[in-house]
């Protein structure tokens, strides 16, 4: 399986999770009391799962991009010469 295929799988899972959220949100809003609190906890889990799936898909899609433009470190000479 290639990274592109794996990324597509994650995007498909993101669509499934979005569908679950869209179907469950009106039901959760109609609930009251403890059942509503539990429903919103389930929704929070679904949102978190969707976020993780989305981030993983983005990472896989951009795995081979040129990262030289996005360095998070600095050249050592900047620290030793006093220039920042």
Q: What is the predicted pLDDT for the residue at 76?
A: 58
Residue 11 lies in a domain: yes
CA atoms within 13 A on the CB side of 17: 19
Query: Higher pLDDT residue, 54 or 71?
Result: 54
Domains held by the chain: number: 1
| More confidently predicted of 70 and 26 | 26
Structural domain span for residue 21: 3-65
| Domain-located, residue 36 | yes
Which residue, among 43, 44, 57, has the nearest Cα to 15 in the 3D structure? 57
Helix (H, G, I), strand (E, B) or coil at 32: coil
Please report whether residue 83 resides in a domain: no
Q: Is residue 75 part of a domain?
A: no
Residue 79: what pLDDT? Answer: 53
7-51: pLDDT as tens digits: 999 999 999 999 999 999 999 999 999 999 999 999 999 999 999
DSSP for residue 62: T
Q: Does residue 69 register a pLDDT over 60?
A: no
Residue 38 lies inside a defined structural domain of this protein? yes
Whole-number pLDDT of residue 65: 79
The answer to whether position 79 is within a domain reads no
């Amino acid at each position: 399986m290639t990274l592109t295929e794996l990324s597509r799988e994650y995007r498909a899972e993101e669509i499934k999770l979005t569908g679950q959220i869209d179907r469950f949100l009106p039901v959760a809003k109609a609930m009251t009391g403890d059942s509503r609190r539990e429903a919103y906890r389930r929704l929070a889990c679904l949102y978190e799962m969707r976020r993780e799936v989305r981030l993983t898909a983005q990472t896989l899609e951009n795995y081979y991009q040129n990262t030289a433009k996005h360095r998070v470190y600095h050249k050592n000479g900047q620290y030793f010469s006093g220039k920042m």
